[in-house]
Structure 1
Amino acid sequence: MAMLISAHRLLLGAGCLLCLALLRHITPRPALTWSRPYENDQARPNADHDGTALPTPTPLSLTCELPEGLDDVLVVLKTGATEIYEKLPIHLATTFACLPDYLVYSDVAQQFGAVPVHDALALVSEELRQRHDDLAYYRTLQQHVLSGGDAAELQGDKSWSLDKWKFLPMISDAYRRFDARKRWFVFIEADTYLSAHNLRLWLKQLDASVPVYAGAQVMIGDTEFAHGGSGFVLSVTAAKAFAEVYRKKQTHWEYKMASECCGDKLMAEVLLEATPPVTLHRSFPIIQGETLTSLDWTPTHWCTPAVSWHHADPAGIDKLWRFERGWRHDTGAEWPILFAEYFAAFIEPRISAANGTMRGWDNLSNDWVYEEGNIVHPSYTSATACESFCRQHAQCLQWAWSPGVCRGGKAVRLGRALASRPALGSADGRVARVGVQGKDGAVSGWMLDRFAAWRSQQEPCSTAGLWNTHVW
């Protein structure tokens, strides 16, 4: 009997040990998160294959734990049928993953998985849609898709020409669908990254009961307007005023659009005809038209929160979204992410890892330019001579050399590899073209000691006037 009891005890003990082992195996381990990049942090995140910093993974259960404050916000994305499969999926996985409500407008109506895509141009008067020369490409696009063709096959400049026509009907229709159920209407494009965390905190500083039209200011002629690609915001009061003015004289505004360059410009003119007129709330640099790689890291940006970035490609949107989720989890819901924090997370690690010098790279220096054939100057004879030139000027923080050209910069920019696009966004329109010889020999460098000294003068950032925007 004693031996039988001992055997039972042995079996019971072995079973308990097995259960403990299984529990230890399946119990979730504490998730790794990215600590906030303060000045005295020693640890830096790992780098992706292209050298840009990546946060450690954020637990999936935490990615949608956004605090109250977004239920009264509608985000509207404008895209085109020729680019939708390239650019919309990343927003469904990131930007829209945690938002209560959003709308997508294009130039072809379709069902994108579970998401309805609305044709903004279908809201234009039938006479224009059927007969106006500006919309001939729209008619071609519709017929091509209806006959089973892929819209991407028609990609080109003509698809861009349709873009301006989407603005006015899109804004009017978004308000019609949600009207007073939303206090804020936020409009972005397919290559815009929107920080939901910073957006929520920014909107708390604004009053939706008054007409608010906010965005990064641009001036064409006498009209100041919010740049569409950078994103813009309308309070429900402003959206209502816009819709009323537009609907009263829709045909007038449509024919005026035919002679305008830009839909975002005409949008401002519609708002100016409201009673009382709705003028732009200048919101640069909070609303940002640059990318992480093309931005000049100066006092204008450093201690300011960033709500949006333009020219962000899918890889860049993914990195920014993952960083934001991890950062908010570690830091909390009530402190915005400043430009300084983005620099510490994405830009500084890349430059430091290269020890301040990158080959085959253009850091977009443009404050001093010495080019062989235009001027006689020793700086363009070699990369060493170009670096020496920069060292001789106290304000020079970076330099870039290619055969026969030396450039210096007073602000730090990351720039891009000359052989490819940057993974944090495309700045193709802002990057000077270089020849094959220039690509082969190009070198960029940064004065790390000087920037460290400059940075120490900017920090710590004050909370006073945190949401102030730059007024020209």
Structure 2
Amino acid sequence: MATSSAGVFNASKLAIIFALLCSLYVFRDIWLPSTPTTPVHPTATPPQSSAPPLESELILNQTAPSEHVADCLNAPGADRVMIVLKTGASEIYEKLPTHLITLFRCTKHYLIFSDLPQTYSDYQIHDALATVSNQYKDEHDDFEVYRKLQKYHREGQNVAKLKGDKGWNLDKWKFLPMMHETYRLASPDVDWFVYIEADTSMSWTNLLQFLGRMDPKKPLYLGAQNVIGHTTFAHGGSGFIMSRAAAEKIENRRNKIGVKKYDDRWELSTSLSCCGDEVVARALVEVDVELTPSWPRLQGETVDTLDWTEKHWCTPAITWHHVSPSQVDSMWRFQNKWVKENGWSKPYLYRDVYDGLVARHVSVNRTSWNNLSKDKEFVAPTKDSSEDDKKAWEKLSDVEKDSVKSFDDCAEACLAWNKCLQWMHEDGVCKLGKDVRLGETDERHSDTWSSGWLQHRIQGMRDNLADCKTNWDH
């Protein structure tokens, strides 16, 4: 009996062990590390969304460039263009990274200038002010922030704390020295020097097609025209372009006069001027190079603030200004999609940007939104209003007077004016606009607007412009 009981006991033990082994095999996926059945590859671009990515998403979504993005280095004319980016040390960590993972992937030749020499990762940052004489750097009020930057940098402090209005006074001193240094450092096979700022967005494909239509052996200076006094100059923030022939004329003039004598004269001129881009124009005029106006291909608005009208509709869009890093990324992803579908020989127009980035946002009315309507304004008078304002109010039509009562009444006033395409309303105020603008949220403001767009009239505008041809000459 004892032997029989032991045999039964051993058999039970074996059964339990066998059951445990079976369980371990059946449920192995729970405790073994999982292995993918197919290799995982990074996607070419971050997923599209209706809103621009947050700044942090730009870092999280960095991925390997897709094949068509990698080809941007070999796009027609890409090896003949140098991109020169001007920035400031106090904003470099905020604004530079997005350019490094977008535009700078596509250009063989580039330089970065700031007001502090440093290395950002593996990128060399040149001091645009290095050659300015000590007379100004040590004593002039405009260089107060420059002196602080050097001190903060030596002490390992956060130079971003030096952001402020005084940086604008310093910025004007960077232009001419930066141009001389660019010419000195540039490879001899560079035909075009393209100057942008850290808050400028650049279309690589449209830029290359634009430059491909011109001769770099001619002394050309191109940009969005602006005027101060008697000087017509290219607005720096919109980006400006110089051919090698134009750059050579300035350098030849400088060498002929003598570098120190030339620089001393233009430093004095810069100290008396408001703006460095205006100084550049005068230096070019001195060697008989006038500005070739290039607006609106190069221009200073954002997607949010541009008036979407026939002035722009069929023109290739090359630059935008006052853009955030996330907007630079958004425009770059838009371009990549365009190139993937259309190649490097077809430009995208403002019309295409509207379709891709604006149309869906103006297809519905919005609360807490300022759409920048500004062509007509109706304000209900108060007891404190001037007599002139009260008299002007009395001359309005009933529809115009009623427009201040509500959002819908403001919409009726827009319908009553045959040029109106959009409107915005807040308590006691109605504004109408004859141009389409996107605008932006004002939900953080104490007073917020409600905005609307007349879809049938916008479609009518689009139908009228449907057959317009690509306008490179506008």
Shorter-chain TM band: 0.7 to 0.9
Query: 1:148 Cα shift?
Result: 1.6
**Contact 1:76–1:185, Cα closer than 8 Å, also in 2:** yes
Task: Note if 1:142 corresponds to 2:150.
Answer: yes
* Aligned residue number for residue 251 of structure 1: 264
* Aligned residue number for residue 269 of structure 1: 282
Task: Note if 1:443 corresponds to 2:450.
Answer: yes
**Contact 2:68–2:339, Cα closer than 8 Å, also in 1:** no
Aligned pair in 2 of structure 1 residues 384, 193: CA closer, same or farther (>3 Å)? same
What are the superposed Cα offsets for residues 333-390 of structure 1, whole Å, 9 maximum, x if unpaired? 11001000000000001122xx2x1000010011101123345332112111111000
* Aligned residue number for residue 417 of structure 1: 441
Aligned pair in 2 of structure 1 residues 249, 27: CA closer, same or farther (>3 Å)? closer
What RMSD, in angstroms, separates the aligned Cα atoms of the two structures? 2.4
Indicate which of 405, 408, 412 corresponds to 1:384: 408
* Aligned residue number for residue 316 of structure 1: 327
What are the superposed Cα offsets for residues 47-87 of structure 1, whole Å, 9 maximum, x if unpaired? 23789xxxxx9962331212231101000000001111100
Query: 1:161 Cα shift?
Result: 1.5
Distance in 1, matches of 2:76 and 2:159, equals 39
Structure 2 residue identity aligned to 1:342: V
**Contact 2:52–2:327, Cα closer than 8 Å, also in 1:** no
Task: Note if 1:370 corresponds to 2:383.
Answer: no
Aligned pair in 2 of structure 1 residues 448, 23: CA closer, same or farther (>3 Å)? same
Task: Note if 1:399 corresponds to 2:406.
Answer: no
**Contact 2:89–2:116, Cα closer than 8 Å, also in 1:** yes
**Contact 2:313–2:350, Cα closer than 8 Å, also in 1:** yes
**Contact 2:85–2:111, Cα closer than 8 Å, also in 1:** yes
What are the superposed Cα offsets for residues 82-103 of structure 1, whole Å, 9 maximum, x if unpaired? 1111000110011111211110
**Contact 1:144–1:150, Cα closer than 8 Å, also in 2:** yes
SS in 1 for 2:104: coil
Aligned pair in 2 of structure 1 residues 340, 49: CA closer, same or farther (>3 Å)? closer
Query: 1:326 Cα shift?
Result: 1.3
Aligned pair in 2 of structure 1 residues 149, 33: CA closer, same or farther (>3 Å)? closer
Structure 1 residue identity aligned to 2:68: L
Aligned pair in 2 of structure 1 residues 159, 305: CA closer, same or farther (>3 Å)? same
* Aligned residue number for residue 452 of structure 1: 459
What are the superposed Cα offsets for residues 9-55 of structure 1, whole Å, 9 maximum, x if unpaired? xxxxxxxxxxxxx9993498998999xxxxxxxxxx7523789xxxx
Task: Note if 1:152 corresponds to 2:146.
Answer: no
**TM-score normalised per structure 1:** 0.82
* Aligned residue number for residue 7 of structure 1: none
* Aligned residue number for residue 461 of structure 1: 468
Indicate which of 66, 74, 90 corresponds to 1:60: 66
Indicate which of 168, 175, 182 corresponds to 1:174: 182
SS in 2 for 1:270: helix
Structure 2 residue identity aligned to 1:85: Y
**Contact 1:199–1:307, Cα closer than 8 Å, also in 2:** yes
**Contact 1:171–1:243, Cα closer than 8 Å, also in 2:** no
* Aligned residue number for residue 425 of structure 1: none
Structure 2 residue identity aligned to 1:136: E
* Aligned residue number for residue 125 of structure 1: 133
**TM-score normalised per structure 2:** 0.82
Aligned pair in 2 of structure 1 residues 24, 200: CA closer, same or farther (>3 Å)? farther
Query: 1:268 Cα shift?
Result: 0.2
SS in 2 for 1:252: helix
**Contact 1:33–1:330, Cα closer than 8 Å, also in 2:** no
**Contact 1:124–1:254, Cα closer than 8 Å, also in 2:** yes
SS in 2 for 1:193: strand
Distance in 1, matches of 2:53 and 2:452, equals 18
**Contact 2:370–2:439, Cα closer than 8 Å, also in 1:** yes
**Contact 1:397–1:410, Cα closer than 8 Å, also in 2:** yes
**Contact 2:52–2:330, Cα closer than 8 Å, also in 1:** no
Query: 1:237 Cα shift?
Result: 0.7
Distance in 2, matches of 1:238 and 1:79, equals 23
Question: Which structure carries more relative contact order (alpha carbon 8 Å, separation 6+)?
Answer: 1
Q: Work out which of the two has the higher radius of gyration on C-alpha atoms and give 1 or 2.
A: 2
SS in 1 for 2:112: strand
* Aligned residue number for residue 200 of structure 2: 192
* Aligned residue number for residue 310 of structure 2: 299
